[in-house]
Structure 1
Amino acid sequence: MQVNPWALVSVTLVVVVTFYLGHRTSRFARSTHDFLVARRTVRSRRNAAAIAGEYISAASFLGIAGLVLKEGADALWFPIGFTAGFLALMLFVAGPLRRSGAYTLPDFMEARLSSPVLRTASTWFVVFIGVLYLLPQLQGAGLALTMIMPTPAWVGSVLVTVVIAYNVMGGGMRAITLLQAFQYWFKLFAIAAPTFVLCAVFVAGGAGAPGSAGSLDEPAPPNFAAHTTVTVDTDVTLGVDTLTRVRVDDGSGGAGWTTWHAGSQHTVDAGSELTFPEGAAVPTVDQATSANLDWLLPSTDLSGLLSTYSLLLALLLGTMGLPHVLSRFYTNPDGKAARRTTVQVLLLLGLFYLFPVMLGMLSRMFVPELLITGETDAAVIALPTAMLSGVAGQILAALLAAGAFAAFLSTASGLVSSMSGVIATDLLAGKVRDYRVASVGVAGIAVLLAVTLPIDDLALSVGMSFALGASTFAPLLVLGVWWRRLTWLGAMVGMCTGGGLVLLAVVLNAVSAHTGGWAPWLLERPALVTVPVAFGLTVLVSIGTSSRVPEDVGAVMLRLHAPDPLGFMRDRAVQRFGRAEEHTRTSQGRHRK
């Protein structure tokens, strides 16, 4: 492949700036209070940018465009759901969560229900969700690096892991707050500027521009604009809707031209080269939408509708169950600032998600060969050089690659920080040293899994994390904030059942991927079953164990819902996870706004 020197420079600059900002801000972190909640002094504007920065992950920067390329209208629910999840978070959870005074999600569970056992179980689910969400970030980094230089995918995963582990170890939440806020604005520029340029190029040339596969409103599949050779890196099964001429070279010496008939499917081994003449229809991998007319319209069959509803339920409720998102609200000064932060996050995310959708639509016309290899997550980086030849295309691809790496770094930093916090305070002694040990352990395990497990669609992988969050912590947060009769036993049964069902679906999906792909849609998007089960069991068991309602429930509910000026909010004692002298030091100096 041809190395893009501009991309190498841009990615190197992002990594160096990330390393520098993390190192510089780490100097202000001295206590565990700094590492976990940044002294609870982060203003709403900076916190909103930081939340948006860590929320815009590999699934957002690369995965959404890839899904739009492959699935069309059905994929539009992803950006809608990703954004709307913060509306539910703002309405039901954000303010009371901050007023609880907790510093981690398991700490909130104990503060509300007075159960150390529930706290320990919550800790493990935080780790499960964090690892499940972290894997596509590291795998996406490897994919992005392979697109700009001839290097194995594991190199990008290891590079991102080293940088984020250093930053998190150095200063935790205090170190990554400014870093994530900066990375949001950089990611917005990195995706918006190329989108405007590529849209201008498209408008100038129209659907018939050089390299275009044709108009998106045509009923036929996309067509190759020129004689094209595609190398398949993994085993794929391709389907065609029209008569297609193709030359298959699998390395055995028997290459020759053949005809694939409409409606047929063909297995292509890894390492094979497929050559198509000009004007040939583009075959698609399993589950990809072939005809443009079908691509433009949403699914109308029952399974497609149920799958969409399941996805929306997971995204709407899953956001409030993501520990790395919730941990940022603990850094606000009060509940009012937490709600204001959420409103600003909605604006920032709504602005960002306009651009990957447009890039996905352009990819359908200019890089349809990705439908053959199945590597649709590479569409964002491959698109500029397909639409613009020479240095101009390389520079735009370089900017997008840099933005993708910023997405990997910011999201991975938040995930490692949130997991390290709960491990250090709940499973270890709770000192700064324990936080750092947990950071190294979490990062090491995650990168090991990332380089050994296969890469799936990034947005779909992240969607499973949302389903797990929606099936575990979402019922506990909603009911814990708004229902006085919740008991720790009901919360435990609901969380373990909902989370266990999602983890079972993850395992069955992995088995299905290696044994013929027999898994139904319900295993890929299980929230439609697991979320109602989790809510229902939590309510039923709580009603059946009403004698276990905490005695201080009235005082706790008053603290969660009383307006901030009344002064009922009390932060959980720092001495629980740090030395008393550390608490004294936190009052010296102020966090930079």
Structure 2
Amino acid sequence: MNPAVGVVALVVVSVATAVIGFYGLRISRTTGDFYVASRTVRPWWNASAIGGEYLSAASFLGVAGLILLSGTDALWFPVGYTAGYLMLLLFVAAPLRRSGAYTIPDFTEARLDSRAVRRVTSLVVVVVGWLYIVPQLQGAALTIRITTGLPPWVGSAAVVIVVCLTVVAGGMRSITFVQAFQYWLKLTALAVPALFIVFTLAGNGTAAVAPAAMNPTAMAPAGAYQNVSLLVALLFGTLGLPHVLVRFYTNPDGSSARRTTLIVLGLLSVFYLFPTAYGLAGRMFAPELAQSGRADALVLLLPGQLIGGTAGDLLSALVVAGAFAAFLSTTSGLVVSLAGVISQDVLGGGVRGFRLAAVISAIVPLGFAVTTDSLALAGSVGLVFAFTASTVCPVLLLGIWWRGLTDTGAIAGMVTGAVLCGGAMVCGAVLGAGTPFWLAQPAAWTVPAAFAVMVFVSRGTKDRIPKTMTRVMTRLHTPERPLVTER
């Protein structure tokens, strides 16, 4: 691939993102605009924006790479990513929108009438956000290194700079326009080269290489435990992702939140057809990428390898643009959600506090990304889902659906999940390939443990059930009055 192609693609998508973001500055005036777009985002816009921020480096690059390595076992990733939104539709979307909160800590404080719960939730949300941003920046570093030959840190730094500019300029309203555009760019960037590849392999063009057999040593199937644990992480982890949940605060009402979720399910289902196709094509025509440890680069390299020539370069440029759209959109969504939490809990709220918090939210994970090695993208993001499923998800589900939850139980459950899952992640990083299977995929036991501790401790502290519980639960499940006063 011509290195200039990668540079041009990076510049074009960055400029387009900045222009759209600065357009949002013209209509972002109030604190509500910056935090939740004044709750006026309609379902189709919101669904496109959710698709933009949810389809991260793991979806754009990692899923195809995992299918290249593991075959049909890796199909659990797109299935889990998509099915997690069905869980959102059934259990979280409408009640969370009715809460009237700006952030997840807003919700937990109002539901449990506890500042201590808010502080713990805020800390967990920030940790989750930073853990999720790091793979996006590492994906950008990988893309820059593979396609341009520039130092990897250039990709990470470029994402942070563009995200900071767009978020600081217009907050949530600005990012909504950006992410909606980026979803359709990502879908186009995968679909168009995939169609060219299909036509080429079907005989309408000339394939650049002949089908090859995969190295069987690279295709070891995952066991039943790993698949179950992965599904638990993806299904329950989606319910606790801060950058996804904050999107439901931008809908006008609970009904709009449900419609948004239905549309997202359709958008995700269409999108994941294409990484799957790339992975299957890679198993036939580019097995050497698995053998050389470059499986995550499959989507970037396959169009040029199979098509070749000027057409291959143009298709590769489109894929690179889509990849950077994935890094930018997910990172911007995370930065917006983290900025809302940090600005309210540390910097006193307001537009100025939001902007400073946005810069902090992006700079910290950049430091981690440039000083650590990249893991397999989908695998590392899967661990973030496991951590979220073990911490934020239990307090949300029980807070919405169980009247017996107490602040002490919520804190105990979140701490238990964070310690167990975080400990498993640290052990995995230290032990590497020698990590026991139950530590490599910990969600199957860390999520039930967090739920169990939260329930048992709450039952033992019934005297701490807040007096506002009945009023709050009624508002969560009866349309449509705000729970938290808008700031």
Secondary structure of 1:369's aligned partner:
helix
Deviation at 1:477, TM superposition (A): 1.2
Please give the alpha-carbon distance, in whole angstroms, between the structure 2 residues aligned to 1:552 and 1:171: 35
Map of 1:7-406 to 2, 5 A cutoff?
A: 7-204=6-203, 209-214=207-212, 221-222=213-214, 282=215, 288-289=218-219, 299=222, 304-406=223-325
Please give the alpha-carbon distance, in whole angstroms, between the structure 2 residues aligned to 1:420 and 1:174: 14
Q: Which amino acid aligns with 1:325?
A: V
Preserved contact between residue 475 and residue 483 of structure 2 (Cα < 8 Å): no
Deviation at 1:186, TM superposition (A): 1.2
Paired residue for 1:479, among 388, 393, 398? 398
Paired residue for 2:457, among 528, 541, 562? 541
Secondary structure of 1:321's aligned partner:
coil
Deviation at 1:9, TM superposition (A): 2.2
Deviation at 1:7, TM superposition (A): 3.4
Q: Say which structure is richer in helix.
A: 2
Please give the alpha-carbon distance, in whole angstroms, between the structure 1 residues aligned to 2:421 and 2:33: 34
Per the alignment, residue 424 of structure 2 pairs with 505
Deviation at 1:87, TM superposition (A): 0.2
Preserved contact between residue 141 and residue 405 of structure 1 (Cα < 8 Å): yes
Question: For each residue in 1:5-32, what CA deviation from the matched residue of structure 2 results, as whole angstroms up to 9, or x when unmatched?
Answer: 3333222211100011111212222232
Q: What value does the CA root-mean-square deviation take over the aligned residues?
A: 1.6
Deviation at 1:431, TM superposition (A): 2.1
Preserved contact between residue 3 and residue 149 of structure 2 (Cα < 8 Å): no
Preserved contact between residue 101 and residue 570 of structure 1 (Cα < 8 Å): yes
Preserved contact between residue 4 and residue 394 of structure 1 (Cα < 8 Å): no
Q: Which amino acid aligns with 1:521?
A: F
Per the alignment, residue 572 of structure 1 pairs with 484
Preserved contact between residue 207 and residue 307 of structure 2 (Cα < 8 Å): no
1:409 aligns with 2:321: no
Please give the alpha-carbon distance, in whole angstroms, between the structure 1 residues aligned to 2:414 and 2:266: 31
Preserved contact between residue 420 and residue 439 of structure 1 (Cα < 8 Å): yes
Deviation at 1:546, TM superposition (A): 0.8
Unaligned runs of 5+ residues in structure 1 are: 215-220, 223-281, 576-593
Per the alignment, residue 489 of structure 1 pairs with 408
Question: For each residue in 1:491-541, what CA deviation from the matched residue of structure 2 results, as whole angstroms up to 9, or x when unmatched?
Answer: 11111101221111221122123xxx3211222211001000011111111
Please give the alpha-carbon distance, in whole angstroms, between the structure 1 residues aligned to 2:329 and 2:5: 22
Deviation at 1:88, TM superposition (A): 0.4
1:553 aligns with 2:469: yes
Please give the alpha-carbon distance, in whole angstroms, between the structure 2 residues aligned to 1:29 and 1:209: 50
Per the alignment, residue 420 of structure 1 pairs with 339
Q: Which amino acid aligns with 1:417?
A: V
Q: Which amino acid aligns with 2:187?
A: L
Preserved contact between residue 47 and residue 181 of structure 1 (Cα < 8 Å): yes
Secondary structure of 2:287's aligned partner:
coil
Report the TM-score when normalising by structure 2: 0.97
Q: Which amino acid aligns with 1:383?
A: L
Q: Which amino acid aligns with 1:117?
A: A
Q: Which amino acid aligns with 1:211?
A: V
Secondary structure of 2:344's aligned partner:
helix
Preserved contact between residue 89 and residue 262 of structure 2 (Cα < 8 Å): yes
Secondary structure of 1:572's aligned partner:
coil
| Inter-CA distance 125–369: structure 2 relative to 1 (3 Å threshold) | same
Please give the alpha-carbon distance, in whole angstroms, between the structure 2 residues aligned to 1:81 and 1:452: 30
Please give the alpha-carbon distance, in whole angstroms, between the structure 2 residues aligned to 1:424 and 1:205: 56
Please give the alpha-carbon distance, in whole angstroms, between the structure 1 residues aligned to 2:437 and 2:302: 30
Please give the alpha-carbon distance, in whole angstroms, between the structure 2 residues aligned to 1:315 and 1:536: 19
Report the TM-score when normalising by structure 1: 0.80
Q: Which amino acid aligns with 1:484?
A: R
Preserved contact between residue 6 and residue 144 of structure 2 (Cα < 8 Å): no
Please give the alpha-carbon distance, in whole angstroms, between the structure 2 residues aligned to 1:78 and 1:539: 29
Please give the alpha-carbon distance, in whole angstroms, between the structure 2 residues aligned to 1:524 and 1:166: 37
Question: For each residue in 1:384-412, what CA deviation from the matched residue of structure 2 results, as whole angstroms up to 9, or x when unmatched?
Answer: 11111211111111111110000000000
Secondary structure of 1:101's aligned partner:
coil
Question: For each residue in 1:354-382, what CA deviation from the matched residue of structure 2 results, as whole angstroms up to 9, or x when unmatched?
Answer: 00000011111222221222121000011
Question: For each residue in 1:136-179, what CA deviation from the matched residue of structure 2 results, as whole angstroms up to 9, or x when unmatched?
Answer: 10110111112221111110000011000111111211110011
Secondary structure of 1:42's aligned partner:
coil
Question: For each residue in 1:455-509, what CA deviation from the matched residue of structure 2 results, as whole angstroms up to 9, or x when unmatched?
Answer: 1100011101111111111111111111111111111111110122111122112
Question: For each residue in 1:524-580, what CA deviation from the matched residue of structure 2 results, as whole angstroms up to 9, or x when unmatched?
Answer: 211001000011111111111111111111111110111x3xx4x1252234xxxxx
Preserved contact between residue 7 and residue 394 of structure 1 (Cα < 8 Å): no
Please give the alpha-carbon distance, in whole angstroms, between the structure 1 residues aligned to 2:340 and 2:54: 18
Preserved contact between residue 213 and residue 368 of structure 1 (Cα < 8 Å): no
Please give the alpha-carbon distance, in whole angstroms, between the structure 1 residues aligned to 2:425 and 2:360: 23
Please give the alpha-carbon distance, in whole angstroms, between the structure 2 residues aligned to 1:418 and 1:127: 9
Please give the alpha-carbon distance, in whole angstroms, between the structure 1 residues aligned to 2:27 and 2:380: 36
Moved more, 28-37 or 190-199: 28-37
| Inter-CA distance 549–571: structure 2 relative to 1 (3 Å threshold) | closer
| Inter-CA distance 325–383: structure 2 relative to 1 (3 Å threshold) | same
Q: Which amino acid aligns with 1:469?
A: T
Question: For each residue in 1:403-460, what CA deviation from the matched residue of structure 2 results, as whole angstroms up to 9, or x when unmatched?
Answer: 0000000000001111111000012211222111111112111111111100110001
Secondary structure of 2:367's aligned partner:
helix
Per the alignment, residue 388 of structure 2 pairs with 469
Sequence identity (%): 51
Unaligned runs of 5+ residues in structure 2 are: none
Preserved contact between residue 22 and residue 170 of structure 1 (Cα < 8 Å): yes
Please give the alpha-carbon distance, in whole angstroms, between the structure 1 residues aligned to 2:142 and 2:224: 31
Please give the alpha-carbon distance, in whole angstroms, between the structure 2 residues aligned to 1:448 and 1:107: 28
Q: Which amino acid aligns with 1:320?
A: L
Q: Which amino acid aligns with 2:343?
A: A
Q: Say which structure is richer in strand.
A: 1
Please give the alpha-carbon distance, in whole angstroms, between the structure 2 residues aligned to 1:439 and 1:8: 26
Preserved contact between residue 2 and residue 313 of structure 2 (Cα < 8 Å): no
Please give the alpha-carbon distance, in whole angstroms, between the structure 2 residues aligned to 1:333 and 1:309: 36
